[in-house]
Amino acid sequence: MTDLTAPTLNTTTVGEAGADERVVFLHGLFGQGKNFTTIAKALQPGFTSLLVDLPNHGRSAWTQEFSYADMADTVADHLREDFAADGRVHVVGHSMGGKVAMALALRHPDLVDRLVVVDIAPVSSADMSEFEHLLGALATLDLDDLPSRSAADDRLADRIPHTGTRGFLLQNLRADGDGWRWQANLDLLLAELPTIGGFIPDGAPFDRPVLWVAGERSPYVQPEHRPAMEELFPRTVLVTIKGAGHWVHSERPEAFTSAVRTFLTAE
């Protein structure tokens, strides 16, 4: 059920106002802004971070359709009202959030100082079967017959054997009165997976600095994607984090934080 009292976007600020650098974090599919809390804290004291729950995720409002352009415009409107009211800010986006970040930079270049795109490319993903499997597994849970969160974890163990992945997904399960509900818009996200996997560039090339962070063990950034990235973002620098998979910032937080800090503070 949509929470009609929720704000358009729910955000959390980490760090003191007035820091030298301001950075916005945009999470991936079925994530939440709080997924970047560890990184935001590690960037202190020189950074003020805005952790965003994207539409249909976390405590932000649900929508009837999925569109990267609409999501980017929603983030832009929110930033103009407050966090970026005094000028450009840095934007970091992972996976789905990386595509939102790219769309934001292309559609609203006046808002973005430096851009960090994490383990995703500006192309359509040919294979969304992993996410279809994960979200489809969540959809099999009967929330009307669910006694506890631990029971949900037990019931998903066969379909999603990895404990960390189950924990990440089940952070979206919320107690609601005497029952449970999905905080993220599971039905919409599952139905819109082809759109989520796609990407249609919209806007002139973004001519400010861009860091493209890839996980060494992840399939989402390939050498053949580099021309598409450089066509849209000609000032791109590619960094590959050794030993990391798709969730680079959670698997190798120190290396990720170091790369981001170095890039965002470079002269």
Please give the full DSSP string across 191-218, using - where no structure is assigned: HTHHHHH-----SSPP-S-EEEEEETT-
Q: Let me know: does 186 contact 135? Beta carbons within 8 Å.
A: yes
Verify whether residue 150 is a known catalytic residue. no
Domains by residue range for the chain, with CATH:
10-124+200-265 (3.40.50.1820), 129-191 (no CATH)
* pLDDT (0 to 100) of residue 110: 97
Could you tell me the two tokens for 116? 């960090």
The yes-or-no verdict on residue 3 having pLDDT over 60 is: no
The yes-or-no verdict on residue 41 having pLDDT over 90 is: yes
Q: Which residues of 157-174 are buried (b: 16+ CB within 10 A; e: fewer)?
A: eeebeeeeebebbbbbbe
Q: Could you tell me the pLDDT band of residue 8, with boundaries at 50, 70 and 90?
A: confident
Average pLDDT over residues 186-195: 95
**Parallel, antiparallel, or unpaired: how do β-strands 21-26 and 47-53 relate?**
parallel
* pLDDT (0 to 100) of residue 45: 93
Q: Which of 90, 94, 246, 249 is catalytic?
A: 246
For the stretch 212-267, pLDDT in tens is 999 999 999 999 999 999 999 999 999 999 999 999 999 999 999 999 999 999 98
Q: Which of 49, 60, 95, 125 is catalytic?
A: 95
* pLDDT (0 to 100) of residue 126: 63
Q: Which of 82, 145, 187, 207 is catalytic?
A: 187
Q: Look at residue 238 and give its three-state secondary structure.
A: strand
Say which residue the tokens 């704000």 belong to. 7
Verify whether residue 145 is a known catalytic residue. no
* Chain mean position to CA 58: 11
Q: Let me know: does 25 contact 92? Beta carbons within 8 Å.
A: yes
The yes-or-no verdict on residue 2 having pLDDT over 50 is: no
Q: Let me know: does 28 contact 94? Beta carbons within 8 Å.
A: yes
Output the average pLDDT for the chain: 93
Average pLDDT over residues 113-139: 91
Average pLDDT over residues 12-36: 94
Of the candidates 3, 69, 66, 77, the one whose C-alpha atom is nearest the C-alpha of residue 30 is 66
* Chain mean position to CA 199: 15
Average pLDDT over residues 8-34: 94
Verify whether residue 95 is a known catalytic residue. yes
